[in-house]
Chains A and B, each alone.
Chain A
């Protein structure tokens, strides 16, 4: 020890001085009894003074050593509780804040789950393929019904067009009837001419042609009646023709109107269906996005729950360090006792404290840090089933 070497050196000074004095007396006085006694006394006094000085130095050193060790212990006793207090306080504050944060997060997650669940129900009601009440099914059903309406309307229009064609076909018969009436008139005129000629010839025949005159007269009356009937038929055919023409015009107008109305209905129905299809498509897109967002949110919640666990780990590490710091005063006391026992200042040995700290570790990364290695926490959840 440095202090002991110095004290031994200091003890030599008075002894050397005494020895030098004794030698000087012997040299001056010669080897006489008085000179020898005086020299012995001088050397003895030098030694005694050296020993006294050494004792004084040792006492001083011991006092300094005691003071140093007591001061060191006081240092530990004063600073360790403060450090430990700050660490403890930090742990408590962190625990309190992260607990509140975790509680708020739990509330957000609950609300989020409710929203996602409601959105999921809405999505299901929109997309559910097997359900008759899903929006997609209702749309498909409505589209089918409206298509049926359009189809029925088209069929009705086709029926009207067929009827119009048939009515228009009656004009052909009217024309034929007109020709027949004309023919009847021509035949009646010829019959009248024949009856006239017959009457003339009967007159020329005289008494012998009187019977023939009656026949000619009757034939003439018959031809006149035929001509009259032909004219009547012609009138009636004209009336029927006019009625058919009026009916055709009315039917044509109705068909045209129905066609226009049908096309307008079809256009309107297609427009409504288009709008509805657009809305349904947007809803389906939204529900799909909601489903994807829901999956993404679940993944983010999972990640957040992992990250929120950091406080527990940090708190555990700090608690271990705090416990180690709290042992600092006892460690200094033990060191002081060892110094007193060995009567010398011994170096502080951190092995005991470090061993105690290491014994408190639970996490693998604490061991890594202790050994000066990389301490990235594992990202995999380790699970062991028994």
Chain B
């Protein structure tokens, strides 16, 4: 059975690009345009991994990550931050909030897929 990955990014084109890379590797994909949208779409879904942008309207990636870690069903769901944000302070914020990896855009599909395969829940 294919594993499900949630993509959280305010850029529709980025969601398509990430989704294409994941679908080519036989993953199921759920898309959300910001943190709030992602939280509402998480309910009742079995998600094996989350890939989230950092800078987003309504709810940014770090706040979303903190909110996810408060949800009992998703406390152990691995989260990869996929962002253009290169500041070390932001990285540390992400790490402190519970992110498992920090990937800089633009990403190479094979590199992202390696991280996904490494971190995805069984």
B66: shortest Cβ distance to chain A, in Å?
Answer: 15
Name A361's closest neighbour in chain B (CB-CB). Answer: B87
Query: CA A110 – CA B16 in complex, angstroms?
Result: 12
Give complex CA distance A363, B106 in Å.
11
Residues B110 and A363 in contact, CB atoms below 8 Å apart: no
Inter-chain contact A309/B100, CB cutoff 8 Å: no
Q: Return chain A residues, CB-CB under 8 Å to B23.
A: 106, 109-110
The verdict on B28 contacting chain A, using a C-beta distance below 8 Å, is no
Contact between chains at B86 and A302 (CB < 8 Å): no
For the complex, is B91 an interface residue (Cβ under 8 Å from A)?
Answer: yes
Contact status B102-A386, CB under 8 Å: yes
Residues 95-128 of chain A, each 1 if its beta carbon lies under 8 Å from chain B, else 0:
1101101110110011001000000000000000
Chain B residues with CB under 8 Å of A99's CB are: 11-13, 16
For B86-103 the 0/1 string (1 means CB < 8 A from A) is 110001001100011111
- CA A246 to CA B19, docked complex, whole Å: 87
Question: Whose C-beta in chain B lies nearest to the C-beta of A113?
Answer: B24
**Does chain B have a CB within 8 A of A384?**
yes
Closest B residue to A380 using CB positions: B108
- Is the beta-carbon distance between A312 and B99 smaller than 8 angstroms? no
Q: A162 to chain B: closest CB distance in Å?
A: 67
Using A362-B85, A386-B101 as known contacts, say yes or no to A95 and B55 having CB atoms under 8 A apart.
Answer: no
Contact A362 B101 (CB under 8 A): no
Shortest distance between the CB of A97 and any CB in chain B (Å): 9
Name the one of A110, A302, A311 contacting B108, with C-beta atoms under 8 angstroms: A302
A302 CA to B95 CA in the complex, in Å? 28
Residue contact B86 to A383, C-beta cutoff 8 Å: no
Question: B111–A312 contact, CB under 8 A?
Answer: no
Contact across chains for B106 and A377 when beta carbons are under 8 A apart = yes
Expressed in whole angstroms, the Cα–Cα distance for A105 and B21 within the complex equals: 11
Within the complex, the shortest CB–CB distance from A116 to chain B, in Å, comes to: 10
Residue of B nearest to A319 (CB): B55
- A58 interfacial by beta-carbon distance below 8 Å: no
Given contacts A102-B20, A301-B24, contact A362 B55 (CB under 8 A): yes
Contact yes or no, B20 A382, CB < 8 A? no
Q: Hey, what's the 0/1 contact readout for A299-321 against B, CB within 8 Å counting as 1?
A: 00110011011111101100000
Name which residue of chain A comes closest to B103, CB basis: A383
Residues B108 and A306 in contact, CB atoms below 8 Å apart: yes
- List the A side residues contacting B118 at CB < 8 Å: 385
A310 contacts B11, C-beta separation under 8 Å? no
Complex Cα spacing A305 to B113, Å: 13
Q: Is B39 an interface residue (CB 8 A)?
A: no
Closest Cβ of chain B to A314, distance in Å, is 11
- Do B86 and A309 have beta carbons less than 8 Å apart? no
- Report the Cα distance A381→B114, complex, angstroms: 12
Please indicate the chain B residues that have their CB under 8 angstroms from the CB of A346 in the complex: none
Residues of chain B within 8 A (CB-CB) of A37 are none
How far is it, in angstroms, between the C-alpha of A156 and the C-alpha of B113 when the chains are bound?
65
Q: Are A305 and B20 in contact (CB-based, < 8 A)?
A: yes
Docked Cα-Cα span, A386 to B97, in Å, equals: 11
Given A105-B20, A385-B101, A386-B99: A306 in contact with B107 (beta carbons within 8 A): yes
Partner of A95, one of B13, B100, B103, B110: B13
CA distance A244 to B112 in the complex (A): 90
B121 CB-CB contact with A under 8 Å: no
Does B17 belong to the interface (CB within 8 Å)?
Answer: yes
Q: B103–A305 contact, CB under 8 A?
A: no
Additional A-B contacts beyond A106-B16, A301-B20 (7; CB < 8 A): A102-B12, A113-B24, A301-B24, A301-B109, A309-B106, A316-B84, A378-B104
What residues of chain B have their CB less than 8 Å away from a CB belonging to chain A?
Answer: 11-14, 16-17, 19-21, 23-24, 54-55, 83-87, 91, 94-95, 99-112, 115, 118
Q: Which 7 A-B pairs have the closest CB atoms?
A: A102-B16, A99-B12, A309-B106, A381-B111, A382-B104, A98-B13, A106-B20
